[in-house]
Structure 1
Amino acid sequence: MKEIELGDPAGTIRQHVSTARHFIAQISSESIVRDWKTEINRLYDRKIASLYS
């Protein structure tokens, strides 16, 4: 009987965890990576500019 009672909440929790993992993966792949690329490119451009100035 306990398994039947806990089955639905466990499934709901799994769904929330799956959604959270997907959300975190999406955030990290989009905004954080884009920010790092922007920052690295900016630092690289500054370094190149300082070499040739």
Structure 2
Amino acid sequence: MWVAISKERVSRGSPGSGLRSAVVLLSLLAFACYASAHGGRTNKAGCHNDRKSGTYHCH
């Protein structure tokens, strides 16, 4: 007995969606270092005196 196997195309999202996701992920990782506060000499509120400008600011 001969059985025909159907070759249906499985949709996995729009073309280029994997590339778009990769670009978004890499962009977020690249800019995460600019958004994070530095870890040195902050008080428990995340604030410190900036010696160069003479100001007190928080992160």
TM-score category by the smaller chain?
A: 0.3 to 0.5
Higher relative strand content? 2
User: Normalization by structure 2: what TM-score?
Assistant: 0.42
Higher relative contact order (CA 8 A, sep 6+): 2
TM-score by length of 1: 0.45
Higher helix share: 1
